[in-house]
Amino acid sequence: MLPDPESPTLLSRPPAISVDEYRQRREALMAQLPDNAAVVLPGAELMTRSRDSEFAFRQNSDFYYLTGIREPDALLVLLPGRAEGESVVFCQDRDPTMEAWTGRRLGAEGVVAEYGIEQAFENTDRDKQLLTLLAGRELLYLPLDNTEAVSVAEDALSDAQAGLRRGRPPLKGWLDISPLIHAMRLIKSDAEIALLRHAALISAHAHRRAMQVARPGLCEFQLQAELEHEFVWQGASGPAYSTIVGSGANACVLHYIENSAPLSDNDLVLIDAGAEFELYAGDITRTFPVSGRFSDAQRALYQVVLHAQQRAVNAVQPGGTLADIHQGVVYDLTAGLIELGLLEGEVQARIDDESYRRFYLHSTSHWLGLDVHDVGTYRLDEQTPRPLASGMVLTVEPGLYIPSDDDIPDAYQGIGIRIEDNVVVTNEGHEVLTADVPKQVDEIEALMAKK
Ligand code: GLY
Ligand code: MN
Ligand code: MN
């Protein structure tokens, strides 16, 4: 049933990540650094959208992971072993005029009191304090792709070279902090998994709503509106990435975000949409018939993708690898394409000559977390895929995209199907976070019949 506007239910929310957990993350990061090193990690800045209006602020995920702070223009400095405090944050100045326009700012006091940071300064004091804090540190760790961090390091080097602080060890250089933080972010804590579970639940509700509302004559953007309404209504900040609603052949465009076409009776519609809750992403894809009933050709192709997807989800367990899961999907999709007459010959031959790639050219999984395509390497080295371990979170999202080419039977031309779930690796195997939105043909048809 569609949610009743008279008695709507707000899904019960998981607790926020505790100040203690953020502190433990900073300590775990510092424990990996060599002696006499420091970390410099800027948060995100506001970005101009047009003239004097800005995009909604989204904190840098690495900065957020280590602090929980959501204000722009902040900078984290980690100084292992410093007696006055190892974690220092520079933040926006308190400013009554600005705060009258854009809301309360934490200020240095708020950062210390509310976020468990040991020492904080407002940005007005940054020039005076930052180089003093870094003086005598031999190695700096920073995100090398961040121009602000690199410029802090260059200033620290000039400062050291100017010999202002003779007798202290010289700054030898700087290294990338990102791989260390990203390796930590790859394994989610219980509190993070609870937030991801909630983002997935909101996303699932939104997909159910879109399935129930869909009918011929609506436009793709109207389904987008239904999904995003549900996200925000449930307290998500909005979509975790641009919502994809692709009907008919638009479903074959992998990153179709125009969402402008009318929905036609005979088409499938592919929706790839997920909510961002407390900065954690949901990422669900479902594909269903606008009419509420799959045609024979649509159902036949759908069952091929569903079979591959279910086997791939079942293969998620500690010690498995994304490479093996992808290979299994490629095998199942290729076998299905041969069975339907869209490819010819032996399964292995079509895998070896990569002819399946005409219909399936993306990979099956990516990590999921604070970022929809979350951080963490997929390989231990060139040859070795990373084994799955408890606490990793990933998507499983095989698809088939059939071009509208002359050599393809009419009934299959322009059909795009993807089915995507979010899965946590557990000690026992896995947990599917997105099971609340149907993917079996009969369940989808039954839900769509309940208008
Ligand atoms: N929504 C982006 C993806 O599925 O990877
Ligand atoms: Mn995905
Ligand atoms: Mn997706």
Where does the pLDDT of residue 169 fall: very low under 50, low under 70, confident under 90, or very high at 90 and above?
Answer: confident
Contact 120, 88 (CB under 8 A): yes
| pLDDT over 60 at 195, yes or no | yes
What was the pLDDT predicted at 309? 99
Distance from residue 209's CA to the centre of ligand 1 (Å):
20
Distance from residue 318's CA to the centre of ligand 2 (Å):
20
Q: Whose CA is nearest to atom 4 of ligand 1?
A: 283
Distance from residue 240's CA to the centre of ligand 3 (Å):
10
The number of the ligand 1 atom at minimal distance from the alpha carbon of 420 is: 4
Portion of the chain with pLDDT greater than 90, in percent: 94
Contact 139, 174 (CB under 8 A): yes
What was the pLDDT predicted at 3? 57
Residue in 212, 60, 37 with CA at minimum distance from that of residue 139:
37
Contact 400, 252 (CB under 8 A): no
CA angle (184 as vertex; 189, 65 as ends), nearest 5: 75
What was the pLDDT predicted at 196? 98
Rounded mean pLDDT of the chain? 96
Residue in 146, 133, 158 with CA at minimum distance from that of residue 41:
146
Distance from residue 276's CA to the centre of ligand 1 (Å):
13
What was the pLDDT predicted at 164? 61
Per DSSP, the three-state class of 244 is strand
Contact 441, 302 (CB under 8 A): yes
Where does the pLDDT of residue 4 fall: very low under 50, low under 70, confident under 90, or very high at 90 and above?
Answer: low
Handedness of CA 388, 389, 394, 400 (dihedral sign): positive
| pLDDT over 60 at 5, yes or no | no
Going from the N-terminus, what domains does the chain have, and what CATH number goes with each? 19-184 (3.40.350.10), 189-448 (3.90.230.10)
Q: Whose CA is nearest to atom 3 of ligand 1?
A: 283
Distance from residue 333's CA to the centre of ligand 1 (Å):
19
pTM: 0.97
Q: Could you read off the pLDDT of 228-251 as tens digits, one per residue? A: 999 999 999 999 999 999 999 999
The number of the ligand 1 atom at minimal distance from the alpha carbon of 418 is: 4
Contact 258, 349 (CB under 8 A): no
| pLDDT over 80 at 8, yes or no | no
Q: Could you read off the pLDDT of 150-165 as tens digits, one per residue? A: 999 999 999 888 876 6
Mean pLDDT value across residues 430-435:
98
The helix/strand count (H/E) of the chain reads as 13, 19
Read off the tokens for 238. 């909005």
Where does the pLDDT of residue 9 fall: very low under 50, low under 70, confident under 90, or very high at 90 and above?
Answer: confident
Instruction: Choose one of 207, 368, 373 to mutate for the ligand 1 pocket test, by most ligand atoms within 8 angstroms of C-beta.
Output: 373
CA end-to-end distance (rounded Å), the chain: 7
Tell how strand 75-78 and strand 244-247 pair up. Answer: unpaired
Residue 70, C-beta contacts closer than 8 angstroms, at least 6 positions apart: 57, 59, 64
Among all bound ligands, the one having the nearest atom to the CA of 285 is: 3
Q: Whose CA is nearest to atom 5 of ligand 1?
A: 373
Mean pLDDT value across residues 179-183:
98
Mean pLDDT value across residues 123-147:
96
Where does the pLDDT of residue 23 fall: very low under 50, low under 70, confident under 90, or very high at 90 and above?
Answer: very high
Q: Could you read off the pLDDT of 370-389 as tens digits, one per residue? A: 999 999 999 999 999 999 99
Provide the 8-state DSSP code for 140.
E
Mean pLDDT value across residues 333-361:
98
What was the pLDDT predicted at 168? 79
Mean pLDDT value across residues 322-326:
98
Q: Could you read off the pLDDT of 29-70 as tens digits, one per residue? A: 999 999 999 999 999 999 999 999 999 999 999 999 999 999
What was the pLDDT predicted at 261? 98
Residues annotated as catalytic (active site), given as ranges: 52, 255, 272, 283, 362, 366, 373, 397, 401, 418, 420
Instruction: Choose one of 203, 207, 241 to mutate for the ligand 1 pocket test, by most ligand atoms within 8 angstroms of C-beta.
Output: 241
Residue in 421, 417, 370, 419 with CA at minimum distance from that of residue 394:
421
Instruction: Choose one of 227, 255, 256, 283 to mutate for the ligand 1 pocket test, by most ligand atoms within 8 angstroms of C-beta.
Output: 283
Structural element, H or E, at residue 9? none
Where does the pLDDT of residue 7 fall: very low under 50, low under 70, confident under 90, or very high at 90 and above?
Answer: low
Mean pLDDT value across residues 306-316:
98
What are the DSSP E strand ranges found in 30-84?
A: 37-42, 48-50, 53-54, 75-78
Instruction: Choose one of 272, 421, 422, 434 to mutate for the ligand 1 pocket test, by most ligand atoms within 8 angstroms of C-beta.
Output: 272
The number of the ligand 1 atom at minimal distance from the alpha carbon of 366 is: 5
Q: Could you read off the pLDDT of 88-109 as tens digits, one per residue? A: 999 999 999 999 999 999 999 9
Tell me the C-alpha distance between 42 and 33, whole Å. 18
| pLDDT over 90 at 2, yes or no | no
Per DSSP, the three-state class of 222 is helix
Per DSSP, the three-state class of 434 is coil
The number of the ligand 1 atom at minimal distance from the alpha carbon of 283 is: 1
Ligand 1 pocket, CB under 6 A: 241, 272, 283, 366, 372, 397, 420
Distance from residue 169's CA to the centre of ligand 2 (Å):
47
Question: Which one-letter amino acid corresponds to residue 388?
Answer: L
Residue in 279, 62, 71 with CA at minimum distance from that of residue 180:
62
Handedness of CA 127, 130, 133, 139 (dihedral sign): negative
Distance from residue 184's CA to the centre of ligand 3 (Å):
23
| pLDDT over 90 at 180, yes or no | yes
What was the pLDDT predicted at 258? 97
